Structure formats: C-alpha cells, structure tokens
Amino acid sequence: MGDQPPRTRVAAVHAASAFLDREAGVAKACDLVAEAAESGARVIAFPETFIPGYPYWIWTHTPPAGAPFFREFYLNSVEVPSPATEALGAAAREAAAYVVMGVSERDGGTLYNTQLYFDDQGALIGRHRKLQPTQAERMVWGRGDSRDMFVLDTPHGRLGGLICFEHTMDLARYALTTMGEQIHVACWPAISAIAHDPVSRFFDSISEAAAKHHALAGQTFVINVQPRVDEATIEKLGLTGQPDMLRVGGGWSAIVGPHGQIIAGPVKDEETILYADIDLADIVLMKQPCDSAGHYARPDVFSFGLLPPAAS
C-alpha cells in the first residue's frame, strides 16, 4: 500500500433535498459543502440523487399519476457540464475538499442515476452512473456501463463508490477492491420513509449490512450516506396527511471502518452532517487475514475481468 497519507476527516451529509428544484438543490449543496469544510472535512459525501431529489413517486403513485413528476424531474436533472456542475466545482474548490455528489443526470433524452466526483481544485474528475436501476427505477433511469467502474487517486486515499443496490452486485464491489479502493462512498435513498412498502421496515438494516460487509470484504472505509424526507417533499407529492404512504424523516447514515465496525453514527431522521477522522493505516491489519484482491483471491481457482463498454 506504500506510504499512507495522514489522518483525514470525512463527512456524510444526511439532509433532505430541495425536491424537484435544481437551482435550490445546488445552492443547498454548496452551503453544506462549506459547512462540512469549516468542520475540517476533506472528503464530503452526499446521498443518492441529492439533486434534484429521489423520485419517490415511483413507489407511491401509479405510472400515469407519476408522469407529471417525471417531467419536472427531467427538466431539473443535471447536465454535465453545466452551470450546476460549475457551481458544485467552485464549492469544492473553495472548501479545498473532494466532493461526491449524487445527481439525476440528463444526457440527451435519457436520465442516469449518477455520482459526480469533484477534486479539491473544483475539477470534475469522475462520473459513476448506476449500472442497473432497481425495480421501478427502470421507469426513470438508463444504465451505466464499464466506463463507470473506477477508483480515483486522491491525497486522502483511493476513492470510489456505488449506488444503492449496486452493493448487492458482488462483482461490482470486487472490481473496486481490485483497483485498490480505500474510501468508498455508498449512497442510497431514504427508503425507510416509504411507510407503505414492506421493505421499508428493514431497509436500514439492509444498507447497514451492505456497508459493513463491503468495508470488511474490501478492506476499505465506507461513508454510507442517505437523505431524509422533509415536509416540502411530501407536500409536493400531494401526500400531506398520509404518513402511512410517505413519512417525514428516514434514512440511515454512518461511517464504517475496514474492520466492519461503525466509527461514526448512525444517524436517522434528523438533518445533520456526520464526521469521522480516518487513518488509512487501519486498513493494514485487515489486509493481513484477508487481502481480497491479493493473497486471499486464489486466482488459480477464480478469474475476474472488467469488460469494455459495448459500442454505442
């Protein structure tokens, strides 16, 4: 692993989106980046599609009833590059921090569930599109490809991430491990706020288990970050007074060490920024028993490769 950088403060932004309002979402995100930086954070992670919010209507409305929300969602999604990405980059530069931002990305006529990676100089250095939208999400987003699998060298460690149920894709997780990932951003929506969905009752335990397992199996720190649902989102969706459909709060955010133990958090329901000071040297003790891409990989038994993207 070579020489290690000094301890780094990382942050998970557990906050509600400015729902279906790109400009307000960018402004809120920039304020939160500045707040986290003032507390010393140098890697700052945001939830899934923080801008312009997660399309909760796919779980609470019929497709015809949800169509007007999709139109607004499409119009408020983020093009790359655009004034929105320029503003986010400027916030990262002013904060002298690496920022991982969840957005709904618009590219031509298709939307993608995307993580954008900004460096501490404000440059957009990575874009990860969710490889496989989950269940009803396929009515909203297209699919990424192998160009979206990468780990980035930073002064704070090798940085990568996945979105939501990509954490059940063991080969996607292992790809990041083979690339030497040391800090992993796991972003999710606040499914636990969708009260009528039976899965919502145990969704927090799903994301907790996924974060802990990836941390241990990949010997990496995991910044697990989810949003919360606020009153304005519920009102916008026409669900005021229906807490049995969508409730205020939700989300489960925590920071997990390479031993699979929570080192900061968890937090739920209330808006906050979660911080942890991490030391990459802590990874070493977990590499000794199970270096998943090294002495524990058994390449004489298994083979693994990342295929090039299909021709468009």
Block mean pLDDT (10 aa), the chain, length 312: 75 98 98 98 98 97 96 98 98 98 98 98 98 96 94 98 97 96 97 86 93 98 98 97 94 97 96 98 93 90 86 60
28, 30, 105, 130: the active-site residue: 130
130 is catalytic: yes
28, 30, 164, 268: the active-site residue: 164
30 is catalytic: no
- pLDDT at residue 196, rounded to an integer: 83
pTM of the model: 0.95
Dihedral of CA atoms 213, 215, 219, 223 in degrees, nearest 10, equals 160
- pLDDT at residue 4, rounded to an integer: 61
Longest dimension (CA), the chain: 59
Give the architecture (CATH level 2) of 8-290.
4-Layer Sandwich (3.60)
| Per-residue b or e along 27-61, where b marks 16 or more CB atoms closer than 10 Å to that residue's CB | ebbbebbeebbeeebbbbbbbbbbbbbbbbbbbbb
Residue extents of the structural domains in the chain: 8-290
H/E stretch holding 12 reads strand 8-14
- pLDDT at residue 200, rounded to an integer: 82
